[in-house]
Structure 1
Amino acid sequence: MKTIRYETGADQIVTLTFDDPDAPVNTLSEQWQRDFAEAVERLVAAKETIRGVILASAKSTFVAGADLKAVQEYKAQDMPVVFARIEAAKQNFRRLETLGKPVVACLAGSAVGGGFEIALCAHHRVAVDSPKVQIGLPEATLGLLPAGGGVTKMVRLLGLADALPWLLEGKSMTAAEAARIGLVQRLVDTPDALRQAAVEWIDANPVASQPWDVKGYRMPGGTPSTPKIAGALAVMSAALEQKTRGLMPGPAAILACAVEGAQVDFDTAMRLESRAIVKLFVDPVAQNLVNFFFDRTRIKAGASRPAGVAPQAVAKVGILGAGMMGAGIACVSAMRGMDCVLKDVTPERAESGKAYTRKVTDARVAKGRMTAEQQAQVLARIHATADAQDLQGCDLIIEAVFESRELKAQVTREAEPMLAADGVLASNTSTLPITGLAAASAHPERFIGLHFISPVDKIPLVEIIVGEKTSDATLARAYDYVLQIGKLPIVVNDSRGFYTSRTFGSFVKEGVGMLMEGIPAEVIENAALSAGMPVGPLTVLDETSLSLALSITEQTIADLKAEGRPYLKEPGDLVIEKMVKELGRRGRAGGGGFYDYPEGERKRLWPGLKQHFGRAGVQWDIAELRDRLLFRQSLETLRAMKEGVLRTTHDANVGSVTAIGFPAWTGGTWRFIESQGMERFIARCNELAGRYGERFAPPQA
């Protein structure tokens, strides 16, 4: 066997150690499955002479799961063979758990997806009590379902009501959380203690079987016909439809397998999983989501980072401006162990920014995700100040002041001398070109853009913008910092609005511009939601501020005029201008925009929208509205790629989904274009351009 070591100890306990010599992690590859079948065959032959079985790993993780690269290559005609392979693998799982001998899984590292399904074959699971040990079944996030027994066994271990949230959301849990709900039976302090704990359980349980194989077994909480469970399932089904809008096939298939499987015998339930997964394997949405998984993995692995530059950690970071953005940057940096200098014009404003971290960590302490001592350590790392001298020795200084070239130039000149010898200065701007801002720097090669997106502690992506003179060493330092704070970095070249802001802007302006056509506001919002956007364009513009959007547009018009280039206003620009200048509707922070926000009540659409933008007898097609929103953003991606703003397709996909909420089911804006086919995509853009204007005109090939 190449990937599994079969060792029988003097105590007559067999240890199966998973250790693929050709990979950094163990996966359920075809080779592993052949080896596992051979190992099980040997166990069955030797069962009269052995006392138990221990499942262990020589890697830092237990088993990472299935080989998703194969999923990308599946075609419909492959499915009968794939179904047979899945059933054969599960038959080996079943033979192991019905061996009649105690089987213990030792989890020194994470066990997710197929890896956890292997652990579920054991009668007893022992894990190291460490936050690094993650356990779960994330298949729903990939448009798939855990078909190695994950659905069937979770439901039979926890009951439908408790199992479904974990299965449908695909969230991982720590070993301690898994122990609390009964998925792990024992916690130990160190990996060295795992085997002894396993042997002790084997000694105490010479005969073992799964709960569902014991006569008289009853499913926790009851079956789907139990009135309480039936009521909960009805609510859960409605909530799932509301959340996914019917666009994500994985969770729907999981729910169906769980409910149907709970009404039949164990082996039939397992077969239902296999049938469901082969349908999902060739579903376009699952293919898109798997592609997105690999795009995200590439970024984490440094695919957009300059090669040949040694990694460097940031120990001390300075943040200029303690407003919402600066406060958020300080919070995420301090939580990752960095010393932070949070500077504003007065000590009081700086302290106000630091208070944001207290608010965030208070919530974590209340939920038990952080101790009071850990909170105190995080807060102690943030030094609030009005004195620029406190920035001395920073490895990285990030200015997060108002979008004004003059102000940004002023703080750049003030802070730059405080940097460490090889320190980097970054601008957190959402639209202003980095090359122009770098003109205020004495070292433009060490100047870069770090575009954080609010709220910083919740949005998992940072857009890195490379100026004309930015060095590879500076880019590498910025990339490493973004990974260090636990976020995803995408890298783009300099331009007005970069990638995320201009693409986000195209969504907002297209949606808002529909008001000029007389399309009701509620229809516009629902069209966006039904397409898979997290919120509608009117909502998002209210939250980010109509005044800010108008200011950015006016600055862009002035800049282009200075460059001798025109700016063609589109319907969305006209709506925003009218809302702010004529109607005094500036957004939520300004008292109201497209929505009213009555105190103590739910927000509601502003009645004035019908008066100022409504038209009698207007017709619309909801599918066309959805297309306009999706194609407009994807077209902006195509333009950014052609202009050289985007460097890679994986940055386009991850940036669009993670930063601006492009529907996850598409796999990202570039994947959306690919799934349409370039010729068909261009044809549709030309069709939309003929109806709605030049903003839909695709660039020359």
Structure 2
Amino acid sequence: MTEYTYGTDYHYDRDADGIVTVTLDMAGQSANTMNTRYIPMMEEILTRLQAEEGLAGVVITSAKKTFFAGGDLNGLRDIDSAGPESLAMFEANKAPFRVMEKLQVPFVAAINGAALGGGYEICLACNHRIVVDDPAAIVGLPEVTLGILPGAGGVVRLTKLLGLEKALPYLLEGKPAKPQKALKEGMVDEIVASREDLVPAAKTWIKANPETWQQPWDRKDFHYPGGDALHPRIRQTAMGAPAILYKKTRGLMPAPAKILDIAVNSMRMGVEAALRMESRGICALAVTPEAKAAINTFFFGTQAIKSGSIRPEGPAWAPRTSAILGAGMMGSGIAWAHAQAGLPAVLKDMELATAEKGKSYSAGLADKLIGRGRMTEQQKAELLARITPSTDDADFAGTDIIIEAVFEDIDLKEKVIGATFGQLSEDGIYGSNTSTLPISVLAEFCPDPTRFIGLHFFSPVDKMKVVEIIMGEKTSQDTLRKAYDYVRRIGYMPIVVNDSRGFFTSRVFSTYLDEGMALMRDGMSPVAIERAAWLTGMPVGPLAVHDETSLVLSQKIRKTHEALDKRLGVENGLPIDMEASNAVVDAMLDQGRGGRRYGGGFYDYAADGTKSLWPGLAQFAHGNGGITLDDAKDRLLYRQAIETLRCLHEGVLNTEVEANLGGIFAIGFPAHTGGAIQFIRGIGIDTFAARAAELAERYGDRFAIPEGALDRLRGAEAKAA
């Protein structure tokens, strides 16, 4: 057992009425967690409570900003067996909650801040839950987003508290609830105005309900809200839910299916048996590649970016003014991002009508939020007041950050950058929203390349909350620091990469499009190609997504790079093989198939919004088919993973964290893998290398792994071991 110093991690206070207030306050931590001291702490607290004579009730609260942050993910990540030791650990974690439920005095949770995961499971073991009226005081069970399940009683107790139908969305989606929503749903029982009101309100309830200590589910007359396991509606839900779940997860995420199974079956057995089944369930999930991937990427990876560990050192920087040059789709979206974050923006274009239209894009997005009850008319007016349409450079003289978002044409960018750089404030920075053009080349068009950086947003900007920050050869660390802070300031995730043709995201995304067309060229049915992509977990098939981005744009980008090659005196400067794409795109455009916005591309689009694959695609099949579904799936994923690995090996990418998160949020690499590099680790480095070699021998050198590219991954694994 872990050594434990008496009373180190909590405060214990008994009042004259016999009510004990336990205030959790784990030493040396910003939040209370289920770390190695958690079980000894809980055992000590419960031992003291059991020894109290005349105990009238217990209030559990927190001295931290949050109530309780949940489990220790470091320990969870290290679990490598679902055997008896792991089962015993999970059983020990939840054991204190049954002791609480049987102590025969009322327990009240006084929730002063976020109570998520294990924190909310503590609350579920209480008889009454009171939360402060603060949007930050959210409650919920987010474990499913980390590839696991609420293993300290969360699945069983929430199902009993709310009933199956109301509990499932919170269990299967992991979304938290703010106080008012939580009260309405029955996740909490009472709201108070301030934190100071919490403990008094809890004591008042205990005094008014001295006999309310037995949980409803421990009573003989207990009935599930909404119906028990035999109720027709519940049976219908239980029968239909797996199909609905498969449609969402595609069978790629084991946690939701396991949670559903436990929630349904817990209704058919006693509390103790259901809790044991839940423990077995989290044991099974904790060792899955999906859980390891989710914990590594979505928790530790996101924490690394939020903590600023990959940000250059220096004081925080917050731009006060901004300008966006170009009021097209990207520029309009960036203006929205600025205005929503409270950053005033001048939106400039050659024609005022175009700039006004760009502002109206934000008005449309605001109207949608109003329709959903997430924005008021007053808030819309305030947001739109932050966007100033303009045709005059003087309107943004002295601005802190300028974002160039004109068309991907190097001659146009040269003209715009040179003409507007002088409008920056003394410590301002200039960003280009280019998706593929080298920042070092574009920086030549401005007088101070140290203050020039790439800021690559993704479409649609209001939904794609990530920005690829591209360092040019002369970009200063000071500019990178400011760009990083700017991206965080507007609420987006920064991914820092070094300069290269196509950078990281465009390179990898292009391989996905190209491999889709290579499969079609090799004789695979377009329907089967799109199905293979769906089965891998890609959000949209390569042919469908190419229609959305447009074949016209693909050809324009290629011609831009050809012009750049000519300017630089090089041949085929792009580092990726796009042979299949180039042939198909040109032929499609010759036949008037430019993509969705041009009336049709790989798909035909009906007036009612439906679509179907264009029969004319058969002309591109030059192979004899016979490609297995497994080969097609691996070709689509391995092509992207190998290109990501190349970017890491070449120094375009700096960290695995950015490779994984950037691939998921910017490109749509399947989230269940944890990202492309985590995908390699999940499969096993040697297994991945062997499969890549098979694909290279069968389908071409684009699947060949560069010599030494896996050494960094192997070295990291050896160091960890």
Rounded to whole Å, the distance in 1 between the matches of 2:169 and 2:138 is 17
Rounded to whole Å, the distance in 2 between the matches of 1:346 and 1:122 is 63
Residue 557 (structure 1) aligned with residue 565 (structure 2)? no
Rounded to whole Å, the distance in 1 between the matches of 2:187 and 2:102 is 19
Report how far residue 516 of structure 1 moved. 0.9
The answer as to whether partners of 2:159 and 2:263 remain within 8 angstroms in 1 is yes
The answer as to whether partners of 1:341 and 1:382 remain within 8 angstroms in 2 is yes
Residues 621-656 of structure 1, C-alpha deviation per residue, up to 9 Å, x if partnerless? 000111111110111011111211011111101111
Residue 683 (structure 1) aligned with residue 690 (structure 2)? yes
The number of aligned residues is 696
3-state SS, counterpart of residue 177 of structure 2: strand
Range that drifts further, 462-471 or 556-565: 556-565
Question: Superposition pairs for residues 399-478 of structure 1, below 5 Å?
Answer: 399-478=404-483
Q: Which residue of 2 aligns with 1:343?
A: 348
Rounded to whole Å, the distance in 1 between the matches of 2:423 and 2:658 is 33
What TM-score results when the alignment is normalised by the length of structure 1? 0.96
Q: Which residue of 1 aligns with 2:603?
A: 595
Residues 97-126 of structure 1, C-alpha deviation per residue, up to 9 Å, x if partnerless? 232222221222111111111121222212
Rounded to whole Å, the distance in 2 between the matches of 1:86 and 1:477 is 44
Report how far residue 617 of structure 1 moved. 5.8
Report how far residue 479 of structure 1 moved. 0.8
The answer as to whether partners of 1:2 and 1:31 remain within 8 angstroms in 2 is no
Rounded to whole Å, the distance in 1 between the matches of 2:18 and 2:353 is 69
The answer as to whether partners of 1:4 and 1:32 remain within 8 angstroms in 2 is no
1:618 to 622, 625, 628: 625
3-state SS, counterpart of residue 539 of structure 2: coil
Q: Which residue of 2 aligns with 1:269?
A: 274
Residue identity opposite 1:637 in structure 2: T
Rounded to whole Å, the distance in 2 between the matches of 1:103 and 1:117 is 13
Question: Superposition pairs for residues 16-95 of structure 1, below 5 Å?
Answer: 16-46=22-52, 48-76=53-81, 79-95=83-99
Q: Which residue of 2 aligns with 1:8?
A: 14
Residues 424-461 of structure 1, C-alpha deviation per residue, up to 9 Å, x if partnerless? 11011111111111111122111111111111111121
Residue identity opposite 1:422 in structure 2: D
Alignment CA distance shift 1:615-1:428 (3 Å): closer
Q: Which residue of 2 aligns with 1:505?
A: 510
Residue identity opposite 2:391 in structure 1: A
Residue 361 (structure 1) aligned with residue 369 (structure 2)? no
Rounded to whole Å, the distance in 2 between the matches of 1:499 and 1:433 is 12
Residue 583 (structure 1) aligned with residue 587 (structure 2)? no
Structure 2 stretches lacking a partner, 5+ long: 1-6, 709-721
Rounded to whole Å, the distance in 1 between the matches of 2:61 and 2:172 is 28
The answer as to whether partners of 2:409 and 2:560 remain within 8 angstroms in 1 is no
Residue identity opposite 1:606 in structure 2: W
Rounded to whole Å, the distance in 2 between the matches of 1:323 and 1:600 is 27
1:574 to 583, 607, 612: 583
Residue identity opposite 1:160 in structure 2: L
Q: Which residue of 2 aligns with 1:105?
A: 109
Report how far residue 488 of structure 1 moved. 1.1
Residues 589-641 of structure 1, C-alpha deviation per residue, up to 9 Å, x if partnerless? 1111111111114111112113x134696312000111111110111011111
Residue identity opposite 2:695 in structure 1: L
3-state SS, counterpart of residue 272 of structure 2: helix
The answer as to whether partners of 1:17 and 1:57 remain within 8 angstroms in 2 is yes
Residue identity opposite 1:632 in structure 2: R
Report how far residue 138 of structure 1 moved. 1.0
Residues 54-95 of structure 1, C-alpha deviation per residue, up to 9 Å, x if partnerless? 11111111111101111221121x631221122223221111
Rounded to whole Å, the distance in 2 between the matches of 1:683 and 1:342 is 51
Rounded to whole Å, the distance in 1 between the matches of 2:498 and 2:375 is 38
The answer as to whether partners of 1:4 and 1:36 remain within 8 angstroms in 2 is no
The answer as to whether partners of 1:499 and 1:646 remain within 8 angstroms in 2 is yes
Residue 161 (structure 1) aligned with residue 168 (structure 2)? no
The answer as to whether partners of 1:108 and 1:191 remain within 8 angstroms in 2 is yes
Range that drifts further, 257-266 or 379-388: 379-388
Residue 522 (structure 1) aligned with residue 527 (structure 2)? yes
Q: Which residue of 2 aligns with 1:536?
A: 541
3-state SS, counterpart of residue 450 of structure 1: strand
1:484 to 480, 489, 492: 489
Alignment CA distance shift 1:569-1:373 (3 Å): closer
Residues 182-205 of structure 1, C-alpha deviation per residue, up to 9 Å, x if partnerless? 112122232222222222222221
3-state SS, counterpart of residue 358 of structure 1: helix
Question: Superposition pairs for residues 197-212 of structure 1, below 5 Å?
Answer: 197-208=201-212, 209-212=214-217
3-state SS, counterpart of residue 30 of structure 1: coil
Rounded to whole Å, the distance in 2 between the matches of 1:162 and 1:224 is 14
Q: Which residue of 2 aligns with 1:393?
A: 398
Instruction: Kindly report the root-mean-square deviation, in angstroms, between the aligned alpha carbons of the 2 structures.
Output: 1.7
Rounded to whole Å, the distance in 1 between the matches of 2:613 and 2:664 is 27
Rounded to whole Å, the distance in 1 between the matches of 2:564 and 2:362 is 37
Question: Superposition pairs for residues 172-191 of structure 1, below 5 Å?
Answer: 172-191=176-195
Range that drifts further, 120-129 or 488-497: 120-129
Rounded to whole Å, the distance in 1 between the matches of 2:163 and 2:367 is 33
Alignment CA distance shift 1:167-1:421 (3 Å): same
2:669 to 659, 662, 672: 662
Find runs of 4+ consecutive structure 1 residues off by over 6 angstroms: none
1:123 to 122, 127, 133: 127
The answer as to whether partners of 1:392 and 1:420 remain within 8 angstroms in 2 is yes
What TM-score results when the alignment is normalised by the length of structure 2? 0.94
1:630 to 624, 637, 661: 637
Residues 552-579 of structure 1, C-alpha deviation per residue, up to 9 Å, x if partnerless? 1232234335433336652232112211
Question: Superposition pairs for residues 134-145 of structure 1, below 5 Å?
Answer: 134-145=138-149
Report how far residue 490 of structure 1 moved. 0.9
Residue 297 (structure 1) aligned with residue 303 (structure 2)? yes
3-state SS, counterpart of residue 173 of structure 1: coil
1:310 to 315, 322, 326: 315
The answer as to whether partners of 2:101 and 2:215 remain within 8 angstroms in 1 is yes
Alignment CA distance shift 1:406-1:560 (3 Å): closer
Identity of aligned residues (%): 47
Q: Which residue of 1 aligns with 2:156?
A: 152
3-state SS, counterpart of residue 337 of structure 1: coil
Rounded to whole Å, the distance in 1 between the matches of 2:278 and 2:556 is 54
Residue identity opposite 1:26 in structure 2: N
Rounded to whole Å, the distance in 2 between the matches of 1:9 and 1:386 is 70
Report how far residue 547 of structure 1 moved. 1.0
Residue 700 (structure 1) aligned with residue 707 (structure 2)? yes
Report how far residue 524 of structure 1 moved. 0.3
3-state SS, counterpart of residue 99 of structure 1: coil
Residue 495 (structure 1) aligned with residue 511 (structure 2)? no
Residue identity opposite 2:651 in structure 1: G
Range that drifts further, 437-446 or 408-417: 408-417
Residue identity opposite 1:542 in structure 2: D
Rounded to whole Å, the distance in 2 between the matches of 1:421 and 1:120 is 55
Residue 230 (structure 1) aligned with residue 235 (structure 2)? yes
Rounded to whole Å, the distance in 1 between the matches of 2:578 and 2:106 is 72
Residue identity opposite 2:244 in structure 1: A
Residue 673 (structure 1) aligned with residue 680 (structure 2)? yes
Alignment CA distance shift 1:301-1:478 (3 Å): same
The answer as to whether partners of 1:141 and 1:289 remain within 8 angstroms in 2 is yes
Structure 1 stretches lacking a partner, 5+ long: none
